[in-house]
Chain A
């Protein structure tokens, strides 16, 4: 039986087109007008900020935006990550180390035109401490904050706190808000800072900042910065290559080498301040034995691990702090030696070990690296059971001590206190592995209050050696920061602390 087709098709297409014409929508848009100046800069970041209150968010995406909107008292120097002036021009410490006096700039205005003074600083830190916000722990030794005059702020401390600059300036989580901001504004969606850009609009499809004319610094050069949220690296890179965006940090690591060979975009990498490590549970036999932990440390092929993690972009490190930092300590006692590792296990009388290794798809590199670890440890007769968990479950299990071993990273630390203290001190809040050594405790406690920088570094170096020797953490590598930008972008500086600042960027 044959049927005529033409008419049937017309009807079918007609039906579809009726559906098409019925398809409209009623969205409300936020018109974006460029503020002139040096053009409209577009950056693709990999996630949407969860909220814009600098004191409440923990998301990196939020800080990528906030970096350009807010200021802190001091900021990390891009070269060696020591602290340099920002809203504070100078600071001094009393002889007993218990009073820090900051002198503030007197030429700073907030985006709404109000003037910045010492009361804003007091308000900011009082808010963090009194409301028990994310960063309250940083100010545990602060007993009082006062403003003797408009350009002076004094921190009274209960004990010497040599890393106070880190606490008041390592990132925009301690950004200075105008007095009363939490009552006057919905800080989750609104902003009033002193930074180079003002928050113009924030929607699900993007955030737009505009140049702040009365900014106290030199910039900004561009008229506006638009952040787009592109979580798929292939898409973000394509958008960069087609010129739809000027900058992105979401570049597939396996394509970096090819892109560095000249391709119309500039790609740069720099070892970051982050580190990734593996830890075993000191409360679970046989990992309570130092020999077993040492055998694991000896059996690991760190080069292969770093390759698996970031396609050769990561830097192997047997301590936490990266090479470029002032606080780096060159200590690498473990060279891969399968026979010696096997010997250690035999001497300890340990065989037929199964080790559950907890990783999370929240950080896919832990899943990749776990394969290498499993292969390495298989060579010395340790069977690795890779347990890939959702991050929430992962954290629950970590908190309950329900694991043999896990792999994770610490991100964004600058001061050795952040790198080592709460992770390795006996009753430390982040000492999930259960390492406890009185001598390490003593070193870490002394270092926390040591005022002399060199003496302080000496103490941390010693503590780090003890931590590495005992394999409290088995340190693996420092990943690289990978960022790319178009050929028309000038003046951008890639940073080890992953802060992205478009103050000095211009478009040609």
Chain B
């Protein structure tokens, strides 16, 4: 187990290094000059030159990268061009909002997907199955920003049950945190839930048709035991994988929903970094997203071992 972890961590470092090289190359290949953008339409050569020199953009690219990498391994991701604040501060400040939304949305998604997918699988071609299939298709097809705006107009403006927008830190006021979280989490969770429902249904169906399920039934086990011990456990493995991918995806920010709900998460931060060509901020954000995927994948692999004893990490 320890050896496995060490090996995985070693791989993670290599992947992160690769990601940093790729990101650095790509963002410098993309047209657009951050200093020119910061100046906007009002151009002045002297100011421009001063800003370029201050940002270190007049160094050769290799030197810029080596310099950045040297600082990054010591935990210093540099200073945002645009805001003049350390990249790590900007990211850490928004991490709680993004974590709240991503985790709450995954919970909503599972609350939708597990019951709906299982029922569909247990009663294939029944009314429930058709409704569930239709609902998940609809959930996939409806644009999330539209769902978000409708939710705000209905629950906030018309009914007045929930606040329309904004994020309140959990440590400030847990009740307000939850009230502000409900609408965005339900909107994001509905879309993820629609994706997950289809996976739950198909993997449960597959487990139901396996030989071991037939054998378990044949030797006279009660139906609930067959479902709980044999069908569910086996059906969960692919579902855990997809849930992990969904979670990592949500942790890297859901830009559109964040914009509509004025939710100050990482998605908006990364979007602004792209728009303003804020190289240090963009590099830091993408690196963090890579870390999310690596960590979530590692956790998923470890959960496999718990769910399925045949898998062991020697």
* Interface positions of A (Cβ within 8 A of B): 1-5, 7-9, 11-13, 15-16, 19-20, 23-32, 44, 48, 50-51, 53, 56, 58, 131-134, 136-137, 188-189, 203-206, 228-232, 234-236, 238-239, 241-242, 244, 362, 390-393, 395-396, 399, 408, 410, 429-430
Chain B residues, CB < 8 A from A392: 31-34, 36-37, 275-277
Q: Are B170 and A429 in contact (CB under 8 A)?
A: no
Query: Which of B41, B85, B164, B208 has a CB less than 8 Å from the CB of A410?
Result: B41
* Interface positions of B (Cβ within 8 A of A): 31-34, 36-47, 50, 82-85, 90, 93-97, 99-100, 103-104, 106-107, 110-111, 114-115, 118-119, 122-123, 149, 152-153, 156-157, 160, 163-172, 208, 223-224, 227-228, 232, 259-262, 264, 268-269, 275-277
A231→B165 CA distance, assembly (Å): 11
The smallest beta-carbon distance between A167 and chain B, in angstroms, is 13
Known A-B contacts A16-B107, A50-B82, A239-B165; the reply to A25 vs B47 at CB < 8 A is no
The smallest beta-carbon distance between A278 and chain B, in angstroms, is 14
Q: Are A396 and B32 in contact (CB under 8 A)?
A: yes
Q: Are A228 and B262 in contact (CB under 8 A)?
A: yes
Chain A residues, CB < 8 A from B260: 232, 234-235
Q: Which residue of A lies closest to B109 (CB)?
A: A16
Q: Are A56 and B262 in contact (CB under 8 A)?
A: no
Q: Are A7 and B47 in contact (CB under 8 A)?
A: no
A24→B157 CA distance, assembly (Å): 29
Chain A residues, CB < 8 A from B277: 392
Known A-B contacts A7-B224, A27-B97, A31-B172; the reply to A241 vs B157 at CB < 8 A is yes
What are 7 A-B pairs with beta-carbon distances under 8 A?
A1-B208, A8-B227, A19-B106, A56-B84, A205-B169, A235-B262, A430-B43
A16→B109 CA distance, assembly (Å): 9
Q: Which residue of B lies closest to A138 (CB)?
A: B44
Chain B residues, CB < 8 A from A203: 93
A349→B226 CA distance, assembly (Å): 86
Q: Are B152 and A238 in contact (CB under 8 A)?
A: yes
Query: Which of B46, B97, B170, B228 has a CB less than 8 Å from the CB of A205?
Result: B97
A473→B171 CA distance, assembly (Å): 54
Chain A residues, CB < 8 A from B261: 232, 235
Q: Are B171 and A2 in contact (CB under 8 A)?
A: no
Q: Are B115 and A12 in contact (CB under 8 A)?
A: yes
Known A-B contacts A16-B111, A392-B277; the reply to A230 vs B262 at CB < 8 A is yes
Q: List 19 extra interface pairs beyond A4-B224, A27-B169, A132-B46, CB under 8 A.
A: A1-B208, A3-B208, A3-B223, A4-B223, A11-B232, A12-B232, A25-B99, A29-B172, A188-B85, A203-B93, A205-B169, A228-B262, A230-B165, A231-B259, A231-B268, A232-B165, A235-B149, A244-B164, A410-B41
Known A-B contacts A26-B96, A429-B45; the reply to A8 vs B103 at CB < 8 A is no
Q: Which residue of A lies closest to B31 (CB)?
A: A393
Chain B residues, CB < 8 A from A53: 84
Known A-B contacts A241-B157, A395-B36; the reply to A234 vs B149 at CB < 8 A is yes
The smallest beta-carbon distance between A39 and chain B, in angstroms, is 19
Q: Are B119 and A132 in contact (CB under 8 A)?
A: no
Query: Which of B45, B95, B97, B228 has a CB less than 8 Å from the CB of A7?
Result: B228
Known A-B contacts A31-B172, A188-B83; the reply to A396 vs B36 at CB < 8 A is yes
The smallest beta-carbon distance between A426 and chain B, in angstroms, is 16
Chain B residues, CB < 8 A from A58: 38-40
Q: Are B264 and A51 in contact (CB under 8 A)?
A: no
Known A-B contacts A9-B118, A242-B157; the reply to A134 vs B39 at CB < 8 A is yes
Q: Are A28 and B44 in contact (CB under 8 A)?
A: no
Chain B residues, CB < 8 A from A390: 32, 275
Q: Which residue of B lies closest to A229 (CB)?
A: B262
Q: Are B264 and A204 in contact (CB under 8 A)?
A: yes
Known A-B contacts A4-B223, A23-B103, A235-B152; the reply to A430 vs B42 at CB < 8 A is yes
Chain B residues, CB < 8 A from A235: 149, 152, 164-165, 260-262
The smallest beta-carbon distance between A159 and chain B, in angstroms, is 18
